[in-house]
Amino acid sequence: MADLQTPAESATPTALNSRASSGHHIDVARAEEEFYELSRQLSRRSETGKGDGKLFATAVHDIEKGLRQDDEDRFDLRDYLTSSNDRNQQAGIKHKNVGITWENLQVEVAGGMDSKVYNPTLGDAVSDFVLGPFLWAWDLISPHLIKRDAPTRTIIHKSSGVLKPGEMCLVLGCPGSGCTTLLKTIANQRDEFARISGEVLYAGITAEEIAKYYKGEVVYNQEDDIHIATLTVAQTLAFALSTKTPGPNGRLPGISRKQFDTEISKTLLRMLNISHTGQTLVGDEFVRGVSGGERKRVSIAEMMATRARVQCWDNSTRGLDASTALDFVKSLRIMTDVLGQTTFVTLYQAGESIYQLFDKVLVLDEGRQVFYGPPDEARAYFEGLGFRSLPRQTTADYLTGCTDPNERQFAPGRSSLDVPSTPEALEATFLKSSYFAANNADLQEYKTFMKTEKADQEAFRAAVAADKKRGVSKKSPYTLGFTGQVRALTVRQFQQNLQDKFQLYTSFSLAWLLAIVIGAAFINLPTSSAGAFTRGGLIFTALLTPCLESFGEMPLQMLGRPILRKQTNYSLYRPSAIAVANTLADLPFSAVRILVFNIIVYFMSGLHRSAGFFRTFGLMCFNFDSAFRLAVFFLPNFIEYTGYILPVISMKRWLFWIYYVNPIAYSWQACMINEFMRIFLTCDGNSVVPRNGPGVDRYPTSLGPNQACTLFGSQSGSDLISGADYLFVGYGLDVKDLWRRNFPVMIGFLLLFQLTQIAVLEFIPQFGLNMSIRIYAKESEETKRLNAALREKKIAKEQRKEKGEEHDDHEKPEKSQSLVHRKTFTWEGLNYHVPSPSGPLRLLHDVQGYVKPGTLTALMGASGAGKTTCLDVLAQRKNIGVISGDILVDGRPLPPDFARGTAYAEQMDVHEGTATVREAMRFSAYLRQPASVSEEEKNQYVEEMIELLELQDISEALVFSLDMEARKRLTIGVELASKPELLLFLDEPTSGLDAQSAWNLVRFLRKLADQGQAILCTIHQPSSLLFESFDRLLLLQRGGETVYFGDIGQDSSVIRDYFARHGAVCPPNVNPAEFMLEAIGAGITPRIGDRDWKDIWLDSAECQQVKEEIATIKKEALARPEEDRKTLSTYATPFWYQLKCVVQRNNTALWRSPDYIFSRLFVSTFISFFVSLSFIQLGTSVRDLQFRVFAMFWVIVLPAIVMSQIEPLFIFNRRTFIRESSSRIYSPYVFAVGQLIGEIPYSILCGVLYWVVMVYPMGFGQGSAGLNGTGFQLLIIIFMLLFGVTLGQMVAALSPSIQVAVLFNPFIGLVLATFCGVPIPYPTMNSFWRAWLYELNPYTRTVAAMVSTELHGLVIRCKPDEFAVFTPPVGQTCSAWAQSFVDVFGGYIDNPLDNAACRYCQFAVGDQFFVPLNISFSNRWRDTFILFAFFVFNAIVTTIASRFLRYHKR
């Protein structure tokens, strides 16, 4: 369906149409015949010439019920495509056939053959920072001094081949053999490789030209399914189509874009059998959505929507059941034949029916091409080399096995001595074979053909140009223009915003609540001198709100990077388009939020900065922590140099330029001018010197001739001050600058930040980590010894195998003779309903069955039939919906230790990313095996699991760098390490594994079962050999209906007999696992028979036998005495042991996350450094006193900044905890406490660094407390940082996502900062807030303790411009006139004996500043430990929230 309007290969008169006669085993006629069977079920068509203009009309087709429409209503896709080709040719639409040749293609990655990439630690980060400038300089000059290439390792050795239009190539190889690398290289995704040599041509076009002009025509579908979890399936597909719909010249006349998109979307969904999921969220491992198999099909549909001509599919059947996988590959076969595509596919565990659909097969062994030729001749080729073929082994498994030293077997009388078995020997043999000669001849012939006959190339170029929308450059690789891309992305972002209602409501509510609080704090400001400074404080506070909100933009910029990488590789849109779209989509929401905010705060906040500034950091940095560090360079300086905290006249001459490049400064100026230019201030109250006070009434009540007004801009003899004069004298602001400077500059900054985002994304996009290499932790002495032992065992095993002495202890394990009674697990009448927009939706219906000790039970069904749901319900992992029915252990309700006694290897591989493979498995063994088992035994068991799962070579690799296949094996290993006593659940354990790994795993499960373990396992695409390893089968069809439960039998005889008795006879050469799924109509093909198989089951004798067996099991079990439940515990190990293990893991994780910790240290140091630089070596003047207070005020800004870094980490770690808590590995209290303990040492270190850079450069410690007082300041700073850490963790624990958590930061930070007594002094604070919020504010205690300690006993001496100058009455000295005022209000008169120009200084000692503010030096220890109490409170709330709030709907 990639392009329903491109002509078939048969419609193009080129030499390529000889495919059927060139020896290939698939021809068009055969493909079309097979396709006829498939296409009958795909969709329905009405004739396009009827005048309705529709491509085809849809009709309901009930696949589950097997209903068939009459022939006249049936949509025959083959007929449609054929007629479509005719209409396309008539309309002049060109074909896009792209044949591919690759010659001597070699791919190299960084690092030598034996080199390993080690994960950096905190120590490395610090040393790199210190040596950074020198290393950077060396990197610049070294290339000119020393010509030395970096070491590389070849992962694809010289490979050559040709794949013509209409052909499919299956790429086979063991994990690590280079299949994915080859596909990526063919798909022209070369950025992650160090060097690529050789030539790849696409219809004669070079790779460079394809990358520049036709990138979207060559695409790669990765193994991982990466989507926006909160969009529906229909929205995801609609977006892809909206960016790839052909322009008018590429569509049939009369067909609109909307019609085209709608019909293609319906067809894709119907073809992949996921029409029912259209309005369901795509979801991910933490957002409930479609099933894993359905999500895989969404990925397939999205790439098909690109209409690309060269498609590379990397293990795209992972997670699909056998029937659906076959349907998918058949669909590829049809589209390749009829549409002339060129298709590369790599698959694990490909069934024979899938294998037979390919034209070519390419076998890789450690990056070497050891075969390329017709699939039906490949088996004979390898048998001819001397490899033995096992009975009932699929050809794909056999070919892969021939390259696997652990799996391959030699023919009788042959050995590695006379059979080429190394990668080099196999390659050399192939290079001498007739297949290589034929391939080389085809390659040269086709290259010559492409050079001489350029019809395909010219048609391809013309078709791509015709596809483009009007106005799109012919040189652009995009179908849609920039504005169209922005429009599509804006719509998608709107959908995300609107569908995340919790975040939407939270952001609006918090913003408006903050506005109410701030407005109420500054309510009814008087137009007098008392309201002058507070007006500036209000405007400054209001401006900080969007500034801090935008600071929270950075973590959000990191989350969508994998999606951005995938979709830009599809050429859906330019990377820069998303920057514009995000701004446009956020604009309406932000505008409404800020408009209402402004209205509430009396329009005083004026113009606001956009979030673009911090978004730019988020886009240009590799990860959040580096963006965080970059932002710290700007945030403190921008706040410091606004002009409010530090007036322009007080700025250091070498730093005042920051003021002129500061967007917040222009905003603040504009708001101040807008507010003050229209008002006059009355000089009264505290601004009059001298004035009456308690016990003093000798001075005039209004401003008299012998009094002075201390307000900026005042004039002698007048008590009215113009707002314009106040601004000019106090802040150097000219009201004329509002429109001529401030507003234009703000618009300029807005455009600059937006353009910067566009430029950064377009030219230096950062897609985050894309792992093509593994990253290792450095070995300790213990791990060196263990790894050496594992390597020795592996070598010895290989040597025994070479000699034919290998004894497989997995083949015939003895049955367990243990006398310990093992319990039986049963379930009856199991129903499960989930809420949906249309009402309760039933996912399971009356499911029944049992798992006995010593048995291996398979759970199978079509993708979306409810397999994982059933497993989740049985394992007690569901926390939404309604479950009914009986789930019993030995006939009794589930015991408290049920979760601990079971292990569940989930489909989604979620682990602590910085742990090594060995550490992850040991962590599970330590906490899940009984405490009575020694650590030595647990360690030994883990080593056995590493050997069994063949993880020896990657035991020290970090989890986050593992590929899909290795992560799957680790997930299984982590669960096996727990040694479950009751039951082992596994959800698709073999998906993503190659055939040998899958076989080894199932053999091991068989061994566990034979030793008494009960195992229930969902499985997809099992081979006949795998299928027979299971004892019983529970088979489900869509709707969670049981189709069969019972024994499988030798050679699947029991289940074959059951289906045969009801009309579905399995042919002897067909895999029964695949056949039974097709028989019940699991895929697109209709079911066999007229009756629904679930009805057949309910009426069968086998169903009655199951009911009787369950009744017998319960009866016998209840006859045994019940064990003492008092001895049962929820967790296997005690609390303190759990805490020890969790803290140890957290500490290791933090040490291996140098960016995170170093950023914490960097932030603390550089904020303190920048502030100290502005206030360096403060004196004892009044202005310096205020600067000391402002410098200490920065300590309470720290938590707001630290929170933005703490929250993402806590929420990511909570994801891991959610998985682990389901198995009762450790307590939620342990999780919360462990998170805190890990942060404490680094918080103390951050506090020390902040303190050192703060107190000494600024000259603290000049008061009575002296230098000892600075030590007290250190204690407060450490407590404040700990408070910030726990506050961030508390907010994260209470929030469902990072997006929501960061919304709370500006609200909490500004409310606490506003009411701490600095922006609004205690005497002027509204009594309502002063009575409770001021007292309950931890920042109040911080400010009080720090200010009183620093200023106590500090002698103040005013500078000349700080004196208030007044003239006493004639005949009086300054002292005689004003001394009584000084005695009451403090301060001093500098010239007491003069009788003119009296100079009054407001403060004589620091205590006179803070005592009126309700601060007492004697209360400083009390205040300090109240702050500590807030830290404890946060930790307690975090712990409780971790226990009761998981935000994990499942």
d(CA 1300, CA 1292): 9
CB of 668 closer than 8 Å to CB of 607: no
In 3D space, the residue among 1176, 1195, 1203 whose CA is nearest the CA of residue 1187 turns out to be: 1176
Query: Comparing C-alpha atoms, which of 1159, 1158, 1435 is closest to residue 1291?
Result: 1435
Per-residue model confidence as pLDDT tens digits over 1082-1126:
766 677 877 888 888 988 888 999 999 999 988 888 888 876 655
Structure confidence at residue 421 (pLDDT): 84
The confidence band for 59, taking pLDDT boundaries of 50, 70 and 90, is very low
Helix H, strand E, coil C: the string for 319-386 is CCCHHHHHHHHHHHHHHHHHHCCEEEEECCCCCHHHHCCCCEEEEEECCEEEEEECHHHHHHHHHHHC
Q: Which two tokens stand for residue 1267?
A: 């230098």
Phi/psi for 558 (5° steps) reads -80, -25
For residue 532, what pLDDT is reported? Answer: 77
Which residues are registered as beta bridge partners of 859? 1018, 1034
- The β-bridge partners of 985 are 904, 1016
Q: Name which of 616-620, 687-691, 785-789 the model is least confident about.
A: 616-620
| Contact of 76 with 40, CB cutoff 8 Å | yes
Task: Express each pLDDT in 349-369 by its tens digit.
Answer: 788 888 999 999 999 998 899
Q: Is there a contact between 1001 and 301 (Cβ–Cβ < 8 Å)?
A: no
Q: Which two tokens stand for residue 683?
A: 């000089």
698-735 per-residue burial string, b: 16 or more CB within 10 A, e: under 16 = ebeeebeebbbbbbbbbeeeebebbbbbbbbebbebeb
Asked if the bond preceding 1321 is cis, omega within 30° of 0, the reply is: no
Strand partners, 857: 1016, 1032
> Coil, strand or helix: which one is 263?
helix
Cβ neighbors of 1119 (< 8 A, separation 6 or more) are none
Q: 1014 — alpha (psi -120 to 50), left (phi > 0) or beta?
A: beta
pLDDT band for position 47 (cuts 50, 70, 90): very low
| Pairing relationship of beta strands 1032-1037 and 856-861 according to DSSP bridges | parallel
Look at 88 and 248; give whichever has higher pLDDT: 248
Confidence band of 41 (pLDDT split at 50, 70, 90):
very low
**Please, are residues 261 and 238 in contact by the beta-carbon 8 Å criterion?**
yes
CA distances from 808 to 347, 867, 995, 1003 (A): 27, 32, 17, 10
What's 739's DSSP letter? I
At residue 1249, what are phi and psi to the nearest 5 degrees? -65, -45
Does 922 score more than 80 pLDDT?
yes
Answer yes or no: are the C-beta atoms of 281 and 230 closer than 8 Å: yes
Per-residue pLDDT, averaged over 509-537, amounts to 79
CB 1389 within 8 Å of CB 1382: yes
pLDDT at 1125: 58
Query: What was the pLDDT predicted at 868?
Result: 85
Instruction: Using a pLDDT cut of 70, give the percent of the chain over it.
Output: 85
- Listed in order, strand segments (DSSP E) in 906-980 are none
The answer to whether the CB of 1023 falls within 8 A of the CB of 351 is: yes
Tell me, what's the pLDDT at 285? 65
Q: What are phi and psi of 117, to 5 degrees?
A: -95, 120
Cβ contact 187:220 at 8 Å: yes
What number is the average pLDDT over the span 702-723? 80
Q: What is the mean pLDDT of residues 105-109?
A: 88
Q: What is the mean pLDDT of residues 390-403?
A: 83
pLDDT tens figures, 441-456: 999 998 888 888 877 7
- For residue 1431, give both structure tokens: 């830290």
In 3D space, the residue among 45, 80, 39 whose CA is nearest the CA of residue 59 turns out to be 45
Confidence of residue 39 (pLDDT cuts 50, 70, 90): very low
Look-up of token digits 């006995």: 852
Of the candidate ranges 224-238, 410-424, 514-528, 1428-1442, the one whose mean pLDDT is the lowest: 514-528
Q: What is the pLDDT of residue 1129?
A: 74
d(CA 613, CA 606): 19
353 — phi, psi (to 5°)? Answer: -65, -30
Strand locations in 754-824 (E): 775-776
Identity of residue 283: G
CA proximity to 1248, closest of 1155, 1345, 1161, 1347: 1161
Give the end-to-end CA distance of the chain in Å, rounded to a whole number: 33
CA distance 15 to 1288: 67
For 1237-1292, write each residue's pLDDT tens digit.
999 999 999 999 999 998 888 888 888 887 788 889 999 999 999 999 999 999 99
Segment 753-778 mean pLDDT: 70
Mean pLDDT of the chain: 79
Of the candidates 237, 254, 247, which has an alpha carbon nearest to the alpha carbon of residue 306?
237
pLDDT of residue 558: 54
User: Of 260-269, 374-383, 539-548, 566-575, which range is least confident?
Assistant: 539-548
Using CA atoms, how far apart are residues 982 and 646, in angstroms rounded to an integer?
Answer: 68
Evaluate whether 382 touches 1031 at the Cβ level (below 8 Å).
Answer: no
Mean predicted confidence (pLDDT) in 653-657:
76
Residue 1159 CA to residue 1150 CA, distance in Å, equals: 12
Residue 1440 has pLDDT above 90, yes or no: yes
Amino acid identity of 551?
F
Q: Apex CA 1129: angle with CA 1123 and CA 1131, to 5°?
A: 140
